[in-house]
Amino acid sequence: MRTLNDTIRRLWPSLIGEPNKYVRRSATGRQNESLRGAWASHYADRGMLLVTLAWLVLRYREWTRIELRPPILYEPRVWIGDLVFPVLPDPMIFYALLAVAGALTVVGLARPRWFVARIALAISILLVSAPGAGFGHVEHTAHLLFLAHIYSMFRPLGKPRDADEADSRARGYSWFLLGLLAVYTASGLWKVVDLTIRDVLKPGLTWLDARAMLATSIASMRGVDLPMVVPQFVERTAWMFPVGYVALTLIFSASFIAAFRRPFLLIVVPTIVLFHILNAVVMYVLFVFTIFVAILVLSPYDLLVPRVRRHLVPVRSTHFDGRGHAARYEVRYENDDVDTFGGFYAYRERLRRRSTLAAAGLYYPGLGWLVSRILEFAHRKAGTTT
């Protein structure tokens, strides 16, 4: 019976978008990719801890408002709050929790490999958020931050010291990203259901109707004294909201694949940021701090931080030959190891070497398979004709 590891090993070429039929990476090529992932993991962890410090400051400010409310209104809404804080905690207890969480965050920055400290930090983050939920305030920003801390308990952290560590950190980082991006994939798939099944089973106002945006804006702004200028502008431009909604749905549904194809993060992360900006500006759904969490936790640091390149084996030369299905692209490293790419993947890799951002969209799931089938068909037809 095939084990989980065997299944993952079999599916890995498809997950990373490099099927064995078309892509042959040398030991050096695989090592470079592992180093990229390992260093991206390290910087993402630094970003997560920095945004955690800012989040703790916001929790302190929130507490200064919470403690002014009548304790009789306190009603735990989440299991951790009901278990640990059945009644509103004493201010000194909450301040002590904040101090512990802050100290553990600093420890994580200084000693990322201290596993026990990371477990304690994840628990303290959950405890710090519990009192606010007792007054009906569910921190949507913290959903992403909570998951990041919880998943970090199960992945190796710190700078990679050798090739084996780089490989384990890169793979751990891929699964870490998958856990976080699955939230947005679920959101995208829910939108697909909303666009199809829901419309069939329960006809009425759907997100493809610009009036849905206006209705949500009105509902959201009941507690916010803001003008309706931007929502009214978008509502008058009838095509803007439905088209944007479909585009977000397509990108969010595929966002999980960016966990294994980091160039695609250059599209997914800006989309997440844009989504939350539009929520705030157009529909007054104010998840503003989520933007900073997404940027600091999900950014493809190996593509953005020039320092990462110093740890890679340099490329000596590249060579492109042929066209269509017969296209071949070779990347030769200074130690004479060679990576080879064929067909669609030859074009994509050549473009990625020139501009990762320009090639990012070519990592969309299914696109490589589709274009490769088209190129194969054209190649066979040309051969039959001649």
C-alpha–C-alpha distance, residues 177 and 300, integer Å: 10
Looking up tokens 């990347």 gives 331
Q: What pLDDT digit, counting tens, does each position of 116-168 carry? A: 999 999 989 888 887 877 766 666 667 888 889 999 988 888 888 888 888 99
pLDDT for 47: 93
Q: What pLDDT digit, counting tens, does each position of 258-269 carry? A: 999 999 999 999
C-alpha–C-alpha distance, residues 123 and 152, integer Å: 12
Looking up tokens 């200084």 gives 110
- Please list the alpha-helical segments (H only) found in the chain: 4-16, 27-66, 79-84, 91-110, 115-133, 140-152, 163-195, 197-201, 210-220, 229-236, 240-253, 265-282, 288-298, 301-304, 344-354, 356-359, 367-385
Mean pLDDT of 200-207: 61
Question: At residue 1, does pLDDT exceed 50?
Answer: no
pLDDT for 71: 74
DSSP state of 239: T
pLDDT for 9: 77
Q: pLDDT grade, residue 62 (50/70/90)?
A: confident
